[in-house]
Amino acid sequence: MQIVLQCVLWGAIVLLLYSYLFYPVLMLWIGRNLGNKAAAGANVDIAPDTASLPLVAVIVAAFNEEKHIAARIENLLQQDYPPERFHILVGSDGSTDRTVELARAFSDTRLTVLDFPVNRGKASVLNDCVAQTTADVLVFTDANTVFKRDTMLQLAMAFDDKTGAVCGDLILEGQGNGSNQDHQYWSIERRLKMAESSIGGLLGANGGVYAIRRECYRELRPDTICDDFVIAMNIAAARKGLRYVPAAVAYEESPADVIVEFHRRVRIGIGNYQALFWHPRYLLSGSWALSFTYVSHKVLRWLTPHLLLLVLACSILLATHPVYRAMAIVQCVAYATALLVFVSRNRIAWPGFILSALFFAVLNVAFLSSFKRFVAADYRGSWRRTERGG
């Protein structure tokens, strides 16, 4: 029995080290050798013949976005893209604030506001908005995202005969010295996306800035939460080409407090487990590169809290041995410290490396909560408003 426990413990540790250390190091090395070459050719010039540019529909699904919607529409209308070649669709999912009123205050003929009176969830809004357009390319974005002036152009011009979807570069801007370290974590994720794209294994899309060919869209299940991930992975699994375009830049603010990030991660986590269990083809139907990156970067991350619990449980059960007893004590002290830092985060100016460790702990507690809710089919709060995304 002890041998089995030891194998489980060390196997879990190896998987954790692989996912969070060895795989990122490998992919960042690949990124330095291949990703930079891809980035060098990513920028495009405006086509001299604007008629050659695809017709674009920009889709913004919104719920209670009165804080952002006017600025978002203004930002899209100012894009350096031929006005006659794009249209904006704003779909309000039963908003109870001034979202619809503020959106309809624009008189621009390029804007259509769809006011859905009943709150059904973002996936249903996206399905209905897509059904309203026959544009060649669909650009998906969020109400709190800000595009650079040429972002739409960079997305549209990135398509070639082998590409079904393109993902732009989302830059997170941290708010002051808050406890949330998401923007630092995301800076590494952006580099991983570049490297994964260079080997044909890009995973999902940045929800605030990505585009797909209209014919590649597949209607979403109404209870889908991570719509951006599912839409992009459907295309990648069908081998229609998914690539990263760092020149298509967008900005969002990262929430300052880690508790806000926790709620966002719970929502995303439910969507992650939906993808894992509802869509096995993401693992089996795509390229070898997609399967490799999917398991290494996503599946193992989603299973990290379960692996951590296995390590703790096995350490405790093996605690008659001094090595495993010490491991159990270290883990208990680490988790107790994380709780202390979390409780005192707004009163004590903890150093950055401590806050980064707290972010890791909060991320995995959120995944545990997500898994419990996924098993119980509890998808309430899928439109919960945070500073980053809806």
Confidence class of residue 254 from pLDDT cuts 50, 70 and 90? confident
**Model pLDDT for residues 328-381, shown as the tens digit of each residue:** 999 999 999 999 988 888 778 878 788 888 888 999 999 999 999 999 988 765
State residue 212's pLDDT score: 98
Please report the DSSP string for 293-341 in residue order.
Answer: HIIIIIIHHHTHHHHHHHHHHHHHHTTTSHHHHHHHHHHHHHHHHHHHH
Half-sphere exposure of 173 (CA within 13 A, CB side): 8
**Model pLDDT for residues 71-106, shown as the tens digit of each residue:** 999 999 999 999 999 999 999 999 999 999 999 999
State residue 36's pLDDT score: 55
Q: Is 168 helix (H, G, I), strand (E, B) or coil?
A: strand
As a whole-number percent, the residues of the chain with pLDDT over 70 amount to 91
Confidence class of residue 386 from pLDDT cuts 50, 70 and 90? very low
When comparing pLDDT for 205 and 178, which is higher? 205
Tokens of 275: 């993808």
State residue 170's pLDDT score: 93
Please report the DSSP string for 286-302 in residue order.
Answer: S-HHHHHHIIIIIIHHH
State residue 174's pLDDT score: 64
Q: Above 70 in pLDDT, residue 181? A: no
Q: Which amino acid is at 317?
A: L
The CA–CA distances, whole Å, from 14 to 295, 307, 358 equal 14, 10, 22
* Cβ 123 vs Cβ 217: under 8 Å: no
Exposure string for 63-75, b = 16+ CB within 10 A, e = fewer: bbbbbbbbebbeb
Confidence class of residue 40 from pLDDT cuts 50, 70 and 90? very low
What is the pLDDT of the chain when averaged over all its residues? Answer: 90
Confidence class of residue 222 from pLDDT cuts 50, 70 and 90? very high
As a whole-number percent, the residues of the chain with pLDDT over 90 amount to 75
Q: Above 70 in pLDDT, residue 175? A: no
Contacts for 127 with CB less than 8 Å, ≥ 6 apart: 219, 220, 222
When comparing pLDDT for 342 and 115, which is higher? 115
Q: Which amino acid is at 13?
A: I
State residue 346's pLDDT score: 77
Contacts for 42 with CB less than 8 Å, ≥ 6 apart: 154, 158, 245, 246, 247
- Bridge partner list, 212: 138, 165
Q: Above 80 in pLDDT, residue 116? A: yes
State residue 382's pLDDT score: 57
Give percent helix, percent strand, percent coil of the chain, each to the nearest 5. Answer: 55, 15, 35
* Cβ 296 vs Cβ 15: under 8 Å: no
State residue 187's pLDDT score: 82
State residue 354's pLDDT score: 85
Q: Which amino acid is at 390?
A: G
When comparing pLDDT for 388 and 109, which is higher? 109
Dihedral-angle region of residue 35 (phi above 0 means left; psi in -120 to 50 means alpha; beta otherwise):
alpha
The pTM (predicted TM-score) of the whole model is 0.89
- Range 288-293 average pLDDT: 95
In whole angstroms, what is the distance from residue 150 CA to residue 302 CA? Answer: 35
Q: Above 90 in pLDDT, residue 149? A: yes
Among 35-39, 184-188, 298-302, 323-327, which stretch is predicted with the lowest mean pLDDT? Answer: 35-39
- Range 297-314 average pLDDT: 97
Q: Above 80 in pLDDT, residue 111? A: yes
Q: Which amino acid is at 166?
A: V
Q: In what order do the strands lie in the sheet with 56-62?
A: 111-116, 86-93, 56-62, 137-141, 210-213, 165-173, 242-253, 146-147
